[in-house]
Amino acid sequence: ALVPRAAVVAASHPLAVLAAAEDPVTAADLADHVQVVAEDPSPLTQGRDFNVLSPGTWRVGDNMTKHALILAGIGWGNLPLWLVERDLAEGRLVRVPAAEFGPQGETLTNAYLMRRTDEHLGPATRAFCDALLRMAGHRTVP
């Protein structure tokens, strides 16, 4: 499934003023501010950065911590729209129209649901997987 993500910042952050001007925010503008980055805890991407545009970063272990730090005005970052849509609607967060992330600072990320094919799913896991797939517009788990 594709998950839309957007670059966002707290309404009180200096980047929010640039975003309000409705001109694209440049990479140089972003580099002047702390970027909150969620790191992959696995060794698969160790030492690699994805969509990191600022030399000043705060690195966290998950999107919920990243969301809290961005809401607190610590910096800016890219988060799933489902996580920030209420904050955007209620004016706590502002989208940052950064060209590096696409139109209106938005990107699409692939989300994967993986399972072992050599073991049967229990009823709770099957129901959970089916619900996720239905929400994403896909068929149920075989």
54-96 confidence digits (pLDDT tens) = 655 667 888 899 999 999 999 999 998 989 999 999 999 999 9
pTM of the model: 0.69
1-19 mean pLDDT:
87
pLDDT digits (tens, 9 = 90+) for 99-127: 777 766 666 666 656 677 788 888 888 88
Per the structure block, which two tokens stand in for 54? 């600022």
Per the structure block, which two tokens stand in for 111? 């989300």
Crossing angle of helices 81-89/63-71, nearest 10°?
20
Q: What is the DSSP letter of 104?
A: G
Backbone region of residue 74 per phi and psi (left: phi > 0; alpha: psi in -120 to 50; beta: other values): alpha
User: Tell me, which fold does domain 2-110 have in CATH?
Assistant: D-Maltodextrin-Binding Protein; domain 2 (3.40.190)
**Domain range list for the chain:** 2-110, 112-142
